[in-house]
Copies of this chain bind each other. A is one copy, B any other.
């Protein structure tokens, strides 16, 4: 018989690239396995997975929000309400009872679109945030934002000659999903010189090129706050982007999963695209994504999130429902996580003080770390770094010596991948090279998270590595 080989499988799948868990992450896992042996011979004691925004991972150990975990524990085993009532605040018990009454067991499939009560909670949250109505029937709960993005991209793309506008640098989920569904990524560059802002001119240029190439643009992806850049859009730019979508009949995919990760909310606030579109009374179709994996919850492993549909006709909503139903339903504990995020304890309720303290601490720690890390990175020779006002990352630019670039070329690697591989081998710190996010030719970057265990250990190791690297390749 003929064996199964990569030559015989779907070529679209071969084209998929996902660097966040790619070569570097796989090598990090190999090092981690080695570290369990006494004679590992590695010059570090542990792996720091700075390649992925995963706040609760081992070694980082950002504590979960107690409120969320208490509600979830009662949903898992309701008998605890009677067996250990003293262990739970009253508002936790009340919330669990309310959810149980509506849901029944979390071991049952829910409505494919998500538990109706939780969709109502989400709609209320959006109404309070934006000051415009939100319809629970236009909300789809998902297993993290990724499944929603994947579902909608697979629906919007009409192969072989249609595409979606993607910011560069971008979160590689978008290009990976496009490749999987034989869609074309239409890249537009963000402007590093002005804090990674979004340029209408760049997008118009990308559109013109796509028309020239016979590619039909279907949608525009905006990540706000940005990933990997942390940039925040101002409302004026948002309005211009909405007009651009009107002009070119584009669907707007608004990735707003970092909306609660704001380090400088006074100078860099967040406004949702839903609000802008409603205020302008624009007819453009918008899908906006949110997630429990980021923000202060950081409940990545739970797999929860949602997307809201704005200006989407019923026929398309029915189609989305059908596709959601093939996956049957999002994980119930992820859905409970969404409820806990959008409907936290209120002042005066028993859980409020602890919830407030825990969430404040996470916000403050992240803002402080981001600031310190950006300052220290910017002091390094050949490194420049926009101090992110949002999200969980920094995206330093590397100006590398010619001899390093030549050595990378000989090794068959892009210079930033070459740099990141050595960083991993020498310090145990795993980052994602700029190559994974798309970038302009000849520029080099890497993305690292600001979820470090201790700034000194982490940034100290980065600094020492960088100085040695620059020396090794003949600069400094």
Binding site for B on A (CB under 8 A): 1-6, 8-11, 13-14, 16, 18, 20-22, 25, 29, 52, 54-58, 61, 64, 66, 69-70, 72-74, 76-77, 79-80, 83-84, 86-87, 104-112, 143-144, 146-147, 150, 154-159, 173, 176-177, 180-181, 218, 245-249, 251, 283-285, 293, 297-303, 311-313, 315-316, 319, 322-323, 325-334
Q: Are A313 and B5 in contact (CB under 8 A)?
A: yes
Contact of A56 among B77, B108, B246 (CB under 8 A): B108
Q: Are A73 and B83 in contact (CB under 8 A)?
A: no
Taking the closest CB of chain B, its distance from the CB of A92, in whole angstroms, is: 10
**Which residue of B54, B57, B84, B173 is within 8 Å of A326 (Cβ)?**
B173
B301 and A106 form a contact (CB under 8 A): yes
Q: Is the CB of A143 within 8 A of B303?
A: yes
Residue of B nearest to A156 (CB): B9
Chain B residues lying within 8 Å of A8, measured Cβ to Cβ, are 158, 218
Q: How far is the CB of A29 from chain B (nearest CB, A)?
A: 7
The 6 closest A-B pairs by CB, nearest first: A84-B84, A21-B325, A301-B332, A58-B104, A2-B249, A73-B77
Chain B residues with Cβ below 8 Å from A154 are 10, 13, 180
Bound-complex Cα distance A155 to B74 (A):
40
* Beta-carbon contact of B72 and A76 below 8 Å: yes
Q: Could you say which of B70, B107, B156, B283 contacts A302, with CB atoms under 8 Å apart?
A: B107
A285 touches B3 (CB 8 A): yes
A109-B325 contact, Cβ under 8 Å, with A73-B77, A87-B84, A313-B3:
no
Q: Is the CB of B29 within 8 A of A111?
A: yes
On whether the beta carbons of B87 and A301 are closer than 8 Å, the reply is no
Contact of A146 among B110, B181, B293, B327 (CB under 8 A): B327
Q: Can you list 8 A-B contacts with CB-CB less than 8 angstroms, sorted by A residue number?
A: A1-B249, A3-B285, A4-B251, A10-B156, A10-B157, A18-B325, A58-B105, A73-B77
Known: A107-B56, A147-B327, A302-B106. A315 touches B1 (CB 8 A): no
Q: CB-nearest residue of chain B relative to A249?
A: B2
Residues of B within 8 A of A150 (CB): 326-327
Bound Cα distance from A22 to B321, whole angstroms = 10
- In the bound assembly, the distance between CA atoms of A18 and B295 in angstroms comes to 35
Across-interface contacts of A86 in B (CB, < 8 A): 83
What chain B residues lie within 8 Å of A157 (beta carbons)?
10
Within the complex, what minimum Cβ distance (angstroms) separates A250 from chain B?
8
What is the chain B residue whose CB lies nearest that of A250? B1
Closest B residue to A19 using CB positions: B325
Inside 8 A of A112's CB, which chain B residues have their CB? 21
Q: If A4-B313, A84-B83, A326-B16 touch, does A109 touch B331 (CB 8 Å cutoff)?
A: no
Chain B residues with CB under 8 A of A104 = 56-58, 61
Q: Are A155 and B9 in contact (CB under 8 A)?
A: yes
- Is A56 within 8 A of B105, CB to CB? yes
CA distance A258 to B302 in the complex (A): 26
Instruction: Flag if B106 contacts A6 (CB, 8 Å).
Output: no
14 more contacts with CB within 8 A, not counting A4-B285, A21-B112, A57-B105, are A3-B283, A6-B316, A10-B159, A13-B319, A13-B323, A14-B319, A18-B325, A20-B325, A21-B325, A25-B325, A56-B107, A80-B87, A107-B302, A303-B303
The minimal Cβ–Cβ distance linking A88 to chain B, given in whole angstroms, is: 9
Distance in Å: Cβ of A98 to nearest Cβ of chain B: 15
Q: Which residues of B contact A80 (CB under 8 A)?
A: 73, 80, 84, 87
CA distance A173 to B328 in the complex (A): 10
Residues from chain B with Cβ under 8 Å of A83 in the complex: 84, 86-87
